[in-house]
Amino acid sequence: MKKVAVVGASGYTGRELLTLISRHRGMQATEVMTARPGTQPEPPQFPTDPILAPLDLTRLKSCDGVFLCTPHGAASAIATAALEHGCKVVDLSADFRLRDPKLYAEVYGSPHPAPGLLQEAVYGLTEHARAAVSKARLVANPGCYPTSVLLPVLPLLQRGMLDDNAPIIADSKSGTSGAGKNPGERTHFGNVHENFCAYGVGVHRHAPEIRQEAGTQRIVFTPHLLPTFRGILSTIYLTPKPGVTADAIRVCLHERYAHEPFVKVYAQGWPELKCVQHSNHCHMAVGASGPLVVMVSAIDNLVKGASGQALQNMNVMLGLPETEGLQ
């Protein structure tokens, strides 16, 4: 039985992760902490919640793996200590996603707290980094929006199926849980209910992450806020190279993901949020629209976009069955 710590367990991703681990046959959450040091445990918010211990880095010594469900900037010091104790680390924050410390400072507004670890960290889009993840000490868990965009787009870029001069337009919509547990004016129920809006246009922090992993600056990414709690649906508009059809793109995706347990490519129809909510799956479909090709992908932002993918990565890192706790 592998022992793991969940640090930052009071937030949405931490709570989701504890739920997943509770049904894992080879992993146990032996340390459940807040991201804040202190002397007193934090009482549970609900009767079914565990009591959260204050952050104590010495308690990581007994763990095989550590999940960091903390805000960006807070994860780096904990990750450094966990690595020194010999733990495998999956960081669900943004601290290790961007490999360039200058870009991190530009995007997140402060110098990177542990730049020496950036080149070691593996970007954990599991289906495209499985071999590297299996050897890694430190995995940067991808953002939710990037996961929904990169899974359908990467195989097409790798096969050279898209016009090299045309933009790749990712029009993405997320439920409010993507903003985290702390309340804000934008995510307040009264502002979300019966409403729909774009936000972060041209400046969202996930755009540089998507462009880095896609290897191109041609990504145009616009996020929107849905009046739902969980789920992301991304509609992606592509200009194919001459002679490349929507059917050819569908075949490419089907071949690339035929043996992946968590990716489903539709032969017909279109993904919907209700098909992927509370699962670690990404569903995608392809269709022609005039000269363009349209792809639609759907994930649960709290599972495949965060905690589920983190558990998938930790399973690989610890030599456990990749699907354990996620089926």
Q: What is the DSSP string of 246-263?
A: HHHHHHHHHHHHTT-TTE
In what helix (H) or strand (E) does residue 127 lie, and over which residues does it extend? helix 126-135
Whole-number percent of the chain with pLDDT over 70: 99
**pLDDT for the residue numbered 276:** 98
Quote the CA–CA distance of 234 and 172 in Å, as a whole number: 4
pLDDT of residue 249: 98
Say how many C-beta atoms besides its own lie within 10 A of residue 242's C-beta: 5
State yes or no: pLDDT of 188 exceeds 90. Answer: no
- Residue 169, phi then psi, degrees to nearest 5: -100, 115
Q: What pLDDT is stored for residue 183 in this prediction?
A: 66
User: Tell me: the pLDDT tens digits for 235-245?
Assistant: 999 999 999 99
pLDDT at 298 over 80: yes
Mean pLDDT of all residues in the chain?
Answer: 95
C-alpha 118/C-alpha 254 separation (Å) is 33
Percent composition of the chain: helix, strand, coil (DSSP 3-state, to 5): 35, 25, 40
Question: Residue 287: its pLDDT value, please?
Answer: 98
Q: Which CATH number fits domain 2-142+305-317: 3.40.1190.20, 3.40.50.720, 3.40.50.300, 3.30.413.10?
A: 3.40.50.720
pLDDT the model gives residue 104: 96
- Cα 28 to chain centroid, rounded: 22
Give the residue, 93 or 35, on which the prediction is more confident: 93
Active site residue 282: no
Kindly report which listed range (25-29, 82-86, 176-180, 314-318) carries the lowest average pLDDT score.
176-180
DSSP H stretches of helix in 23-125: 75-84, 101-108
Least confident of 34-43, 178-187, 282-291: 178-187
pLDDT given for residue 179 in this prediction:
74
pLDDT confidence of residue 79 = 97
Decide if 34 contacts 88 (C-beta within 8 A): no
- Going from the C-alpha of 285 to that of each of 79, 233, 247, 317, the distances in angstroms are 37, 11, 10, 30
Closest CA to 312 of 2, 1, 31, 21: 21
Q: Does the predicted model carry a pTM greater than 0.85?
A: yes
Buried/exposed code over 251-279 (b: 16+ C-beta within 10 A; e: otherwise): ebbbebbeebebbbbbeeebbebebbbeb
Instruction: Spell out the domain ranges in the chain.
Output: 2-142+305-317, 144-301
Name the catalytic one among 144, 197, 252, 275. 144
CATH top class, domain 144-301: alpha beta
The predicted-structure confidence for 261-297, as pLDDT tens digits, reads as follows 999 999 999 999 999 999 999 999 999 999 999 999 9
Angle of helix 101-108 relative to helix 206-214, nearest 10 degrees? 150
